[in-house]
Structure 1
Amino acid sequence: MTRSMRRPRRMLVAAAGVAALLALSACSPSDSSNGSDKSESSPNSSPKSAKLSGTVTVFAAASLQESFTKLGQEFERQHPGTKVSFSFGGSDSLAASITGGAPADVFAAASPKTMAIVTDKKDAAGTPVTFVRNQLEIATLPGNPDKVSSLKDLTKSGLKVVLCDETVPCGAAAQKALGAGDLKLTPVSYEQDVKSALTKVELKEADAAVVYTTDVKAAGDKVEGVEFPESAKAVNDYPITLLKNAPNAETAKAFIALIRSADGQKVLTEAGFLKP
């Protein structure tokens, strides 16, 4: 075979080698594609694949105790390695603690007025969102021995009635309801949160208390509930927010998302809360 006949074969072999190298190069990851993946995440949103961890500290109105505790347990089940730590109490005192520098991730208040204590001090990250509403109800002793059937009945002489302090949402709502009925009531005590007011009836230290529907439901057979029409004039909106200096912001956002989700709303409505 002549030299001129062998040359084309060498050229074909060389061309095949170049094609193979190009194919291998196409299969390997490029720097530009890696850069594109990184640009998809932002400081305000954690990657979907990121594993949540650590403790979320939630300051929440006392009336949320049962439902939030249940949802906290569900959150921990969904996200192993996380823990939800709660501080329940009067919304006004919780707000004061936050503005005073207490470390917390989430604040859920029982009224926009108490949430404003936090937002006015610029301690909220973004705009609070209403996630549920709540209505008042009268809690009486089991069997309702004093035959309380209306808000006006609480003004009867000799009846020991407990109200929340006017500075906390349940107390402010009670005063609004009394005003709607053109009624005046002097309680035997003012309590710092709704659970304290309810406890007075449960311990039979009071004959009745004006609390939330959710608290009457949570108490079971320890009290008896009495609805009254004036409560429709004093329904409280409950706002929730991520706090500006949240120590565990990403996990806190996920907890708020659970509260606002269909599953979260189901737990809350079953507890007696109204949809926003």
Structure 2
Amino acid sequence: MTIRRFTAAGAAALVLALAATACGSDGGSDTGNGTATSTATDSATGSATTGSPTGVPKASGSITVFAAASLKETFTDLGRKFEAANPGTKVTFNFGGSSALAASINSGAPADVFAAASPAPMKTVSDAGGAAGEPRTFVRNTLAIAVPEGNPKHLTGLADLAAPGVKVALCAKEVPCGAAALTALKAANVTLTPVTLEQDVKGALTKVELGEVDASLVYRTDVRADAGKIDGVDFPEAAKAVNDYPIAALAKAPNKDGAAAFVAYIQSPEAQQVLTAAGFQAP
């Protein structure tokens, strides 16, 4: 089994590709459903690029994007780039667990775009008539074991997570990262009892950062985004639990043109380059 240590030095290339992603939590607020909001506007970088990306229609006005928590760093960066290419636009994000976001959309929360971490939450929106057109898979993601720096428990694979005295955090089974974790554990024939079940992948990752658990099953992209704070352990069963990420403009989008433009941008070569640099896989 291979142990990969994701250090700050090893993440240098990623930092260049994801400049200013830390702004994703700046100015965040609670929306009442347990998810965080952030705006992509940055006066220091708002004029960094000009011109609409190839093949992407121009947009204007405010665009509200509901997106899976694992997309926070990349989408915040892409939101700034989209605004710079479309002067007069403002992209606001609501990041959280995909299932909770889907429920909010179906309950009438105003949003223009939904990007989920698996097809299941998107299907609940589509089945309710909430998606405008067919959702499109724009990236894929796989799991890794997040451990504290230095991997003090010397964990090398999923079987080690079931060892006595090892405290593990998982996402709840209703959340895409939780469903993927259960699939991987089943493939490895491993049964364990987590000490906590989190409502999104960032919650599971934070438990490792704070030293409250010895490991958590999260996306590899989240491990890479947290380089320098935690280490990551790859395991072969991750190949059995690859998550497709679909995106769709919403039928009741207040800004339909803006929604269509943002969805097209996320599928553009420019955006795909940022996403793959962060560790996502091309669809």
Fold conserved between structures, TM > 0.5 = yes
Secondary structure of 1:93's aligned partner: helix
Larger Rg: 1
Distance 2:120 2:170 in 1: 19
AA of the residue aligned to 1:163: L
CA displacement 1:194-251 (0-9 Å, x = unmatched): 0000001011111110000000000011110000000100000000000001000111
Distance 1:215 1:179 in 2: 22
1:258 CA displacement: 1.2
1:122 matched residue in structure 2: 129
Residue of structure 2 aligned with 1:247, choices 254, 259, 266: 254
1:63 CA displacement: 0.3
Distance 1:123 1:52 in 2: 21
AA of the residue aligned to 2:150: G
Q: Does 1:275 align with 2:278?
A: no
Where do 1:110-259 residues align within 5 Å?
A: 110-259=117-266
Secondary structure of 1:127's aligned partner: coil
1:75 matched residue in structure 2: 82
1:168 CA displacement: 0.3
Secondary structure of 1:126's aligned partner: coil
**1:85 and 1:148, CA in 2 relative to 1: closer, same or farther beyond 3 A?**
same
CA displacement 1:122-164 (0-9 Å, x = unmatched): 1100100000000000000001010001111111111111000
Distance 1:229 1:113 in 2: 24
Runs of 4+ in 1 over 4 A off after TM superposition: none
Q: Identity of aligned pairs, percent? A: 61
Secondary structure of 2:92's aligned partner: strand
Is this contact kept in 1: 2:250–2:259, CA < 8 A? Answer: no
Distance 1:103 1:255 in 2: 16
CA displacement 1:172-201 (0-9 Å, x = unmatched): 000000010111010000000000000010
Residue correspondences, number: 228
Distance 2:59 2:136 in 1: 23
**1:51 and 1:107, CA in 2 relative to 1: closer, same or farther beyond 3 A?**
closer
Indicate the structure with greater helix content. 1
Secondary structure of 2:226's aligned partner: helix
Is this contact kept in 1: 2:58–2:261, CA < 8 A? Answer: no
Distance 2:58 2:213 in 1: 49
AA of the residue aligned to 2:278: A
Distance 1:205 1:145 in 2: 13
CA RMSD of aligned residues (A): 1.1
Is this contact kept in 1: 2:142–2:239, CA < 8 A? Answer: yes
Segments of 5+ residues of structure 2 without an aligned counterpart are 1-54
Distance 1:51 1:78 in 2: 8
**1:106 and 1:145, CA in 2 relative to 1: closer, same or farther beyond 3 A?**
same
Distance 2:153 2:182 in 1: 22
Is this contact kept in 1: 2:136–2:248, CA < 8 A? Answer: yes
AA of the residue aligned to 1:208: A
1:51 CA displacement: 6.0
AA of the residue aligned to 1:150: G
2:115 matched residue in structure 1: 108
CA displacement 1:95-133 (0-9 Å, x = unmatched): 000000000000000111111110110110010000000
CA displacement 1:37-60 (0-9 Å, x = unmatched): xxxxxxxxxxx9x96321100000
Distance 2:146 2:177 in 1: 13
2:72 matched residue in structure 1: 65
AA of the residue aligned to 1:120: D
Is this contact kept in 1: 2:146–2:232, CA < 8 A? Answer: yes
